[in-house]
Amino acid sequence: MVTPLSSQLIDLCAAVLLLLSFSMLSQRRVLTLVDLFALQGGTLFVSIVVVAWNTHQYQLFYSAALTLVLKVIFLPLILNRLIRRLGAQWETETLLNASATMLIGLLLVIFAFTLAEPISRLASTITRSTLGIALAIVMLSFLMMITRRKAVTQVIGFLAMENGLFFAATSATYGMPMVVELGVALDVLVGMVILGVFFFHIREQFDSLDLHNLESLKED
Amino acid sequence: MNTRAFTMQLIAIAFAIIVAPLLIGWVNQCRAWLQNRRGPGILQPYRLIRKLFHKDAVIATNASPLFRLVPYVQFASMGLAAGIIPSLWTGLPFADAADTIALVGLFATARMFLALAAMDIGTAFGSMGARREMLVGFLAEPALLMVFFTASLISHSTSLPTMVNVLAHGPLAIYPSLAFASISFLMVLLAENARIPVDNPSTHLELTMIHEATVLEYSARHLALIEWASALKLFNYVCIGFALFVPWGLAQGLGNLPDLAIAVPALFIKLVAVGFGLALVETINAKMRIFRVPEFLASAFLLAVLGLLVHLLLGH
């Protein structure tokens, strides 16, 4: 019954990550969403450090540092500045109302947990029970991208999904090879810059960041 | 031994009844401080109750006997609930007879009687308040039950004293599921006790009031009993929260003197902290529209269910 403290800490981090995913799903204000994203990155950082410390996988410290710099400090800073300059901090209309979204989110969590259960029974890492939660975070971020209309919130959903994937990688196999991790980090960074440029173009073209406008292919 | 258990049970109930208004007073005092006011002092609820007891009751001519009965039912059910919830020691004979599910039922009984009394006079405000109260209640109840189920999955029991014994005196462990349950419980506590994001306890504005609308017709000793019962309800909820999430300091069994010497200061420290926390929550939040309340309570329910799921996934 009693499990070692490190494993309990990782479970706690996983639970907090899941909680943050749900609050991101139900959050309407964009700036709060960015804060929540930064908090998610911070929790991810703590969990990676705990895993690295306990399994003596010291290359994980590099990915922890990468997470801290990129996802807790740098990306939220860029997002904050972008949102302020775009003046997009107020509304985020959702396609579904919050209760329905949360209900679908709950079903996704059940799905993810059942899906991950046989896999994690085979694994032998100390983090194996958190695989279901990592999968749930990926799915919830995906749901967030689907239910939001604005470009900025979709990008935040995309970044949160990357957080979930990162967590899945550490919980399933103690992290990916360093080259892959660096590549992904660079991809996210470059993607962020390109999307930032896109935001301005979309707004210039349509006078709003609502992606709904991109659906009509013809001008009439 | 049996008479001692019974006496201790009565002392526990009397203690809750006496201390409950103090908690409301402390919350109001903290709110006043946070709003840069001096505040009426933490003894104000006692003064209010005494003043109300000295007044003559006015009752509408078309009120049925039910209307007179309800304040006593309210007070009695909250007092009984205080007998089930361990606040200082866990050896409560009443708690063997009623577990947490019965406790939720007891709260529901009190709520039903309050709604009936509000509709009894037939004023528009009364029935509106009753409807809103039932709306909040029927959404908050499943969330509360789910919180209890999460805790009972951990302790393998639905009895509150057993939960406290397992959580406080078992091996120290971090339960992620309880983190979810505690947030959910806080939301239910705010909704059930008519605190600010859901209802404003100090308003008589007809469009927004929920709890106040149901007790609008009461005066004097009836109102005093109802005010006292709502103070007791808040105290009960806070004590449930302590029992589930911060059970340390509670005396085991009937409590011998050295254990009680720890339990009493521990309870008061926790009450001071929670009272301040409640005041803070109420100060930094604005009251939400009534149509947002179902959303708020649905999130509470979902968080509690998530707690259950996380418990099943992680296995502890």
B208 against B242, higher pLDDT: B242
> For residues B176 and B188, is the Cβ–Cβ distance under 8 A?
no
Contact A32, A5 (CB under 8 A): no
Could you tell me the pLDDT band of residue A65, with boundaries at 50, 70 and 90? confident
Supply the mean pLDDT for chain B: 86
Q: Are A175 and A129 in contact (CB under 8 A)?
A: no
CB pairs under 8 A between A and B: 70
Alpha carbon of residue A211 to chain centroid: 20
CB atoms near residue B280 (< 10 Å): 13
Among A96-100, A115-119, B25-29, name the one with the lowest average pLDDT: A96-100
Inspect the interface and report whether the beta carbons of B295 and A8 lie closer than 8 Å: no
Asked if residue A27 lies in contact with residue A33, where contact means CB atoms within 8 angstroms, the answer is: yes
Contacts of B310 in chain A (CB under 8 A): 15, 18, 133
CA–CA separation, B21 and B42 (whole Å): 9
Alpha carbons B316 and B155: distance in angstroms, whole number: 10
Which two three-digit tokens encode residue B310?
A: 């996380």
Alpha helices in chain A (DSSP H): 5-26, 30-55, 59-67, 75-86, 98-122, 131-147, 151-173, 178-206
Token code pair at residue B87: 């606040």
SS3 state of residue B121: coil
d(CA A137, CA A117): 15
Please say if the pLDDT value at position A2 is more than 50. no
- Find the distance separating the first CA and the last CA of chain A, reported in whole Å: 67
Contact list, A17 vs chain B (CB under 8 Å): none
Chain A interface mutation, best of B310, B312, B316, highest count of A Cβ atoms under 10 Å: B310
Question: Is the CA virtual torsion B241, B244, B248, B254 positive or negative?
Answer: positive
Q: Which residues contact B163 (CB under 8 A, 6 or more apart)?
A: B100, B151, B152, B154, B155, B157, B243, B244, B247
Q: Among partner residues B173, B295, B314, which is closest to A2 by beta-carbon distance?
A: B173
pLDDT digits (tens, 9 = 90+) for A140-197: 998 988 888 777 788 888 888 888 888 888 877 776 777 777 777 778 778 877 877 7
Q: Which residues of A touch B299 (CB under 8 A)?
A: 26, 98-99, 102
Give B229: exposed, middle or buried? Use CB within 10 Å, 0-12, 13-18, 19+.
buried
ipTM higher than the 0.90 cut:
no
* Domain spans of chain A, in order of start: 5-215
User: Taking CB atoms and an 8 Å cutoff, what residues of chain A touch B305?
Assistant: 106
Decide which of B213 and A40 is more confident: A40
Q: What is the pLDDT of residues B266-291, one digit of tens each?
A: 888 999 999 999 889 888 888 888 88
- Mean per-residue pLDDT, B295-313: 87
Using a CB-CB cut-off of 8 Å, the residues of chain A touching B176 are 11-12, 14-16
From A63-77, A105-119, B87-101, the region with the lowest mean pLDDT: B87-101
Residue in B1, B24, B11, B9 with CA at minimum distance from that of residue B232? B24
What percent of chain A is predicted at pLDDT more than 70?
Answer: 89
| Both tokens assigned to B114 | 């309050």
Cα gap B71→B218, rounded to integer Å: 9
Question: For residue B76, what pLDDT is reported?
Answer: 93
- Evaluate whether B288 touches B197 at the Cβ level (below 8 Å): yes
DSSP B291: G
Query: What does the pLDDT read at residue A146?
Result: 86
d(CA B200, CA B206): 11
- Helix axes B160-169 and B100-120, enclosed angle (nearest 10): 130
* Alpha-carbon gap, residue B92 to B85, rounded angstroms: 8
Q: CA nearest A14: which of A139, A135, A157, A178?
A: A135
Cβ within 8 Å of residue B92, ≥6 positions away: B8, B9, B12, B83, B84, B86, B161
- Chain A residue with minimum CA distance to B184: A19
Question: What's the confidence (pLDDT) of residue A1?
Answer: 38
Q: How confident is the model at residue B316 (pLDDT cuts 50, 70, 90)?
A: low
State the pLDDT at residue B277.
92
Closest CA to B151 of B186, B177, B115, B174: B177
Whose structure tokens read 């078992």? B170
Instruction: Output DSSP code: residue B289.
Output: P
Question: B176 vs A22: CB contact, 8 Å cut-off?
Answer: no
